[in-house]
C-alpha cells in the first residue's frame, strides 16, 4: 500500500499556526487530483488543502477545531488504488442493489465559500439549489437568504389568539434560547491583536472634514469615459490613496514602524485597504501606490473586493503594508476612531458623505462633506505632525489636480 501524508502547507512568516476548519472528505472517500480535502483557518485567510494525487483517504489525524503548525500531518492517503483497511469489514453490496451513499462532492464543484458550506451543512441545505448573488461563489448571506425563504409561517394553532390584545407571557419554566458558537481563528486573532495594540501603542485620533465636491465633480465628468477606457469604475478610493501617498511623502514618520529602540522609515508606499469579509475584517495591500495610475489602483480595489467576497484572498495579498485606509462610510458611519493595524503607526478613517451648510468665501453654501479620522502612534508621531498630515490629505482632496504631482 502506497501511503502519503497530507500536511499543512507552508504558511508565512507572520502566520505560524492554523486551525482545522472543516473536513470535506471522510475516511474511505476516493479523491481526485486537485480535490479540496480540508479547509484551514488562519488569522488572515482560509486555506484550502487539495489532493496532490488521486487516491483514497485512509486516516484523518487532525480533527476539526484542532490547532496545527506548518508541516503537521492532517491525513493519510493511499495512492495505490486499493481500498483502505477500514473498509474491509463493510457488507458486500449485491449487484442489483442501489448504493446507500456516495462520496461528498468536492468544494470545487459546489462553488461556495467554506463559510457558506458550513452553514449549508449545518442546516441540511443543498448548495446546488442556491444561485450566488454576485455571479461568483455562493456566500454565507446567500445561504441564509435561502434558508429564510424556505421557512414556513407558524400554524394557526400556534399563533396568539386574536381575541386577546396582549401577547402570551413566556413560560418561565422554558429555558431561554441560546447558541454557543466557537470563535473562528481569524476572530480570535482580531480580538487578541486589538487588545495588544491598545496596550502597546500610544494611540491618539485627530479629526478634520473635507469638502468632496471637487472630487465628485471630476468623477461625474470622467466616470463614463474612465469605465469605457479601463473597464473599471472611478471611485473615491484612488483619490484618497493618492492623497495619502502625497501626505506620507511630506510626513514620513507616518510611513514607518517601531522596532525596539529604532524606527524603520519606509521609502515605499504599500497601502492596505480594509474590507469587511464574511468572517471578519481583512486588509489586502496595494503595493507601490506612488507608481500606480488611478485605473490600476481601482482595478486592485475591485479585485480584492471580489476575492474577499468569495474567500480567494491569498496570504501574499495581505502581507506587509505601510499604512491603512478604512472606510466606515460604506456602512453608514459618520464618525469613528479607527484602531491601528500593527506594526503600522497610522490609519486613515473615511466616513459617510453628507450635505451640510458650510461657510465658503464668507457665504453659507451646501456642500457634500466627509469627516476624516487619523489614528496614529504617539510614540513616534507628534500631534503637530498628525494634524498637518490630515490637513495635507484634506488639501489634496479639495484640489485634486495636485494629486497628479504630489500623489
Task: Judge contact between 274 and 349, C-beta under 8 A.
Answer: no
Rg over CA atoms, the chain = 27
Distance between CA atoms of residues 377 and 374, nearest Å: 10
Identify the active-site residue in 134, 288, 382, 399: 382
Contact criterion met (CB below 8 Å) for 111 and 122: no
217 is a catalytic site residue: no
Question: 3-class DSSP state for residue 172?
Answer: coil
Q: Give yes or no: 382 in active site.
A: yes
- CB atoms < 10 A from the CB of 245, how many? 24
Give the number of other Cβ atoms within 10 Å of residue 11's Cβ: 20
Dist CA 58 CA 48 (whole Å): 19
Where b means 16+ CB within 10 Å and e means fewer, 373-390 reads bbbbbeebbeeebbeebb
| 10 contacts 70 by C-beta, under 8 angstroms | yes
Q: Is the peptide bond before 159 cis (omega within 30 degrees of 0)?
A: no
Q: Where are the beta strands (DSSP E) in 195-283?
A: 203-211, 256-259, 262-265, 271-273, 275-277, 280-282
30 backbone dihedrals φ, ψ, rounded to 5°: -85, 135
Dihedral sign of CA atoms 128, 132, 136, 137 in order: negative
Among residues 377, 378, 395, 399, the one annotated as catalytic is: 378
- Residues marked as catalytic: 378, 382
Amino acid at each position: 500500500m502506497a501511503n502519503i501524508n497530507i500536511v499543512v502547507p507552508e504558511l508565512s512568516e507572520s502566520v505560524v499556526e492554523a486551525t482545522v476548519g472543516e473536513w470535506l472528505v471522510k475516511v474511505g472517500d476516493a479523491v481526485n487530483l486537485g480535490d479540496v480535502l480540508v479547509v484551514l483557518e488562519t488569522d488572515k485567510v482560509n486555506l484550502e488543502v487539495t489532493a496532490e494525487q488521486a487516491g483514497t483517504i485512509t486516516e484523518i489525524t487532525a480533527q476539526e477545531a484542532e490547532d496545527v503548525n506548518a508541516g503537521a500531518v492532517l491525513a493519510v492517503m493511499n495512492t495505490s488504488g486499493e481500498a483502505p483497511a477500514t473498509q474491509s469489514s463493510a457488507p458486500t453490496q449485491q449487484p442489483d442493489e442501489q448504493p446507500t451513499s456516495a462520496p461528498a462532492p468536492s468544494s470545487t464543484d459546489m462553488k461556495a465559500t467554506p463559510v457558506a458550506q458550513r452553514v449549508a451543512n449545518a442546516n441540511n441545505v443543498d448548495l446546488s439549489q442556491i444561485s450566488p448573488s454576485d455571479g461568483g461563489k455562493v456566500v454565507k448571506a446567500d445561504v441564509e437568504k435561502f434558508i429564510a425563504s424556505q421557512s414556513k409561517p407558524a400554524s394557526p394553532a400556534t399563533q396568539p389568539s386574536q381575541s386577546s390584545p396582549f401577547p402570551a407571557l413566556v413560560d418561565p419554566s422554558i429555558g431561554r434560547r441560546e447558541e454557543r458558537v466557537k470563535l473562528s481563528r481569524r476572530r480570535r486573532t482580531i480580538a487578541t491583536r486589538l487588545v495588544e495594540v491598545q496596550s502597546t501603542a500610544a494611540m491618539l485620533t485627530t479629526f478634520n472634514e473635507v469638502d468632496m465636491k471637487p472630487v465628485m465633480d471630476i468623477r461625474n465628468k470622467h466616470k463614463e469615459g474612465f469605465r469605457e477606457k479601463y473597464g473599471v469604475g472611478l471611485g473615491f478610493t484612488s483619490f484618497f490613496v493618492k492623497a495619502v501617498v502625497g501626505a506620507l511623502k511630506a510626513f514620513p514618520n507616518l510611513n514607518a514602524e517601531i522596532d525596539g529602540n529604532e524606527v524603520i522609515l519606509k521609502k515605499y508606499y504599500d497601502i492596505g485597504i480594509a474590507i469587511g469579509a464574511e468572517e471578519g475584517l481583512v486588509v489586502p495591500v496595494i503595493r507601490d501606490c506612488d507608481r500606480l495610475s488611478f485605473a490600476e489602483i481601482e482595478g486592485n480595489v475591485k479585485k480584492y473586493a471580489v476575492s474577499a467576497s468569495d474567500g480567494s484572498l491569498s496570504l501574499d495579498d495581505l502581507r506587509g503594508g505601510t499604512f491603512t485606509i478604512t472606510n466606515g462610510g460604506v456602512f453608514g458611519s459618520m464618525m469613528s476612531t479607527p484602531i491601528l493595524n500593527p506594526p503600522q503607526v497610522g490609519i486613515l478613517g473615511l466616513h459617510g458623505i453628507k450635505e451640510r451648510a458650510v461657510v465658503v468665501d464668507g457665504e453659507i453654501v451646501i456642500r457634500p462633506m466627509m469627516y476624516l479620522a487619523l489614528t496614529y502612534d504617539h510614540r513616534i508621531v507628534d500631534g503637530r505632525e498628525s494634524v498637518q498630515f490630515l490637513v495635507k490629505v484634506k488639501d489634496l482632496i479639495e484640489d485634486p489636480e495636485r494629486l497628479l504631482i504630489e500623489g
